[in-house]
Amino acid sequence: MYIPNDNPYVTAASAFPDWAVTIGGAQQTQVTYNAPSTGATWVSLVGQGFGAIDGNYSALLQGGVTASDASLSQAGLIPASAQSLLFEANGVGPLEVLIGGQSVPYSAVGSGPNYTLYSANISAWAGDTEQLTFSALEGGGGSYYWHLDDISFSPTATPEPNTLALIVMGGAAFAVRQWRKRG
């Protein structure tokens, strides 16, 4: 991967190999490195100190006022065993995740020091060749952004806490608290 020293522009293909970068539906050949936009819709590669979530680099999608969305897309085979799409992200504003052009609901399932781990049920597309798209949307004149990292497929559904588990954990916490008060 080529990272310039004095020029903030890099080719989209070198910054995001195998991913298509679009702004307002128009394919882009360049993105910036460590040079976020100040209100325009844009896609950047960011390193540590500029918002990288995990490791050396993350994608930054900025949904600004100059286009409807900033997107990263990749077409490929979704593993037959895949149940969940997992990705680390942090941001402000609307983020849309699409598979084959269909919006996929996602929810927070965990967190790290500077990100939230999100999961989406993608079992309906397991074994299919589809396009996966992440889009930061323009939202009513505001400038929105999303940092993305560690996009993967999980062979098992990401469990959500069930009611019984939450009751047991709450009861255990209450018992420990009562025990400490007595001691």
Please report the pLDDT score of residue 2 as a whole number: 42
Instruction: Tell me the C-alpha distance between 97 and 100, whole Å.
Output: 10
pLDDT per residue as tens digits for the range 74-118:
999 999 999 999 999 999 989 999 999 999 999 999 999 999 999
pLDDT per residue as tens digits for the range 158-174:
455 544 444 545 554 55
> Other CB atoms closer than 10 Å to residue 71's CB: what's the count?
26
Positive/negative CA dihedral, 138, 60, 146, 130: positive
* 128-149: average pLDDT: 87
Q: Which pTM was predicted?
A: 0.80
Please report the pLDDT score of residue 18 as a whole number: 95
Pick the more confident residue, 50 or 38.
Answer: 50
For the cut 90, the answer to whether the pLDDT of residue 43 exceeds it is yes
- Specify whether the backbone of 177 is left (phi greater than 0), alpha (psi in -120 to 50) or beta: alpha
145 forms beta bridges with: 62, 92
For the cut 60, the answer to whether the pLDDT of residue 134 exceeds it is yes
For the cut 60, the answer to whether the pLDDT of residue 41 exceeds it is yes
For the cut 60, the answer to whether the pLDDT of residue 54 exceeds it is yes
* 9-17: average pLDDT: 94
Angle at 126 between CA 119 and CA 92, to 5 degrees: 25
- Structural domains of the chain sorted by starting position, each given as residue range(s) with its CATH number in brackets: 9-158 (2.60.120.260)
